Homo-oligomer: A and B are copies of this chain.
Amino acid sequence: MAEKIPVTVWGATGFIGGELMRVIAGHPGMEAVGAISRSSAGTAVGAAHPHLRHAYRDMTFISADQGEALDSPLAFLALPHRASAAMAKRLLGLGRRVVDLSADFRLRSAEEYLKWYGVEHPCPELLGEAVYGLPELHRGEMTGARLISGVGCNATSAICALRPLVKEGLIEEARIECRVGSSEGGAHGDEGSSHPLRSRTLRVVSPFVHRHAAELIQELGLPGEKFTMGVTAVELVRGIQCLAHVTLTRAVKEVDLWKLYRAAWSGEAFVSATPAKPAHLRIPDPRFVMGSNRVLVGFALAEDGRRAIAASALDNLMKGAAGSAVQSANIMLGLDETSGLDMMPVYPA
């Protein structure tokens, strides 16, 4: 086997940082040589990530200074917004490549960033070269890129569910809702994420306009007035189910939608259309992809042929974050795109 490429993970104590460490631990072509954490430098990786203790037995978190000093061609950033962009700039200046999982490089326009995130972009000069980190849409631009963004997990679920319809110009209007698990909120949630309050809740957050809508507008070319996007927090740790209630621009037949869905993602290693039968599997359940980089997409069509539900399911920490990031990095580095990402979903769990 060829030597592994040494990579670093920044913000390595969080859930996304931990998931990056998990994926890289099983990756045949990468090795995590540094896990950077401002708050936990000096403590064992296994204390923050007890499931990975055997894989990183002697590794401790290190400081940013130590991280910069490491000889590593690629850095994954799982840092807070704005801090991430600043660190990306610094590391690019040191000649490193960067996959930045924050929201800082997802939008191509500094104006849009200001509009959706409410702050000025810290380094707008980098927006031009950043590639949106969904390989299924931007594979070609990734080879040799210096800077790739991560993806919004909810945005990814909606893109996967709706893209087959958008490509055919079939969307007159869509009401998108994502049902999401608690790991989306990170390890340091607010009071609402405490177990007694979050447990079994059905809490509707931002019923019409979620920040990730900006990524849909950009990546799907779907005008903002044509859709709403809401999120419901449900009893789940990992996973997103996207359900989009769509009004189609014209009546269609079910068989034609099947063709669209199968064709849209044909050849993709990680995206599959659900089977038409049995019926209860058509709208995918995130349990079926848990722990893996897979996405399931499916739909249901009402008798009138005009009203449809477009749906998807994914693991927000994998395809919605660390999985897509490693997939993008694989392309960036010239590795096999699926390398390290072939873990099977764990079900039932």
Contact = CB atoms under 8 A, between A and B. Distances in A.
Contacts of A302: 207-208, 228
Contacts of A53: 272, 275
Given A205-B280, A349-B346, A349-B349, A288 B50 contact: yes
**So how many copies of this chain end up in the complex?**
4
A232 B49 CA distance: 20
A165 to B, nearest CB: 16
Contacts of A179: 202, 232, 234
Nearest to A318: B346
Interface in A146-202: 175, 177, 179, 181-183, 185, 187-189, 191-202
Contacts of A207: 283, 300, 302, 309
A236 interface: yes
A237 B288 contact: no
A215 interface: no
A347 B187 contact: no
Nearest to A18: B347
Interface residues of A, number: 88
Given A275-B53, A283-B204, A237 B195 contact: yes
Contacts of A15: 196, 348
Interface stretch (A77-85, A100-108, A238-246, A253-261): A238-246
A342 B26 contact: yes
A192 B54 CA distance: 22
A275 B47 contact: yes
A195 B237 CA distance: 8
A277 to B, nearest CB: 8
Closest 6 CB pairs of A and B: A235-B235, A291-B346, A195-B198, A51-B347, A204-B283, A51-B345
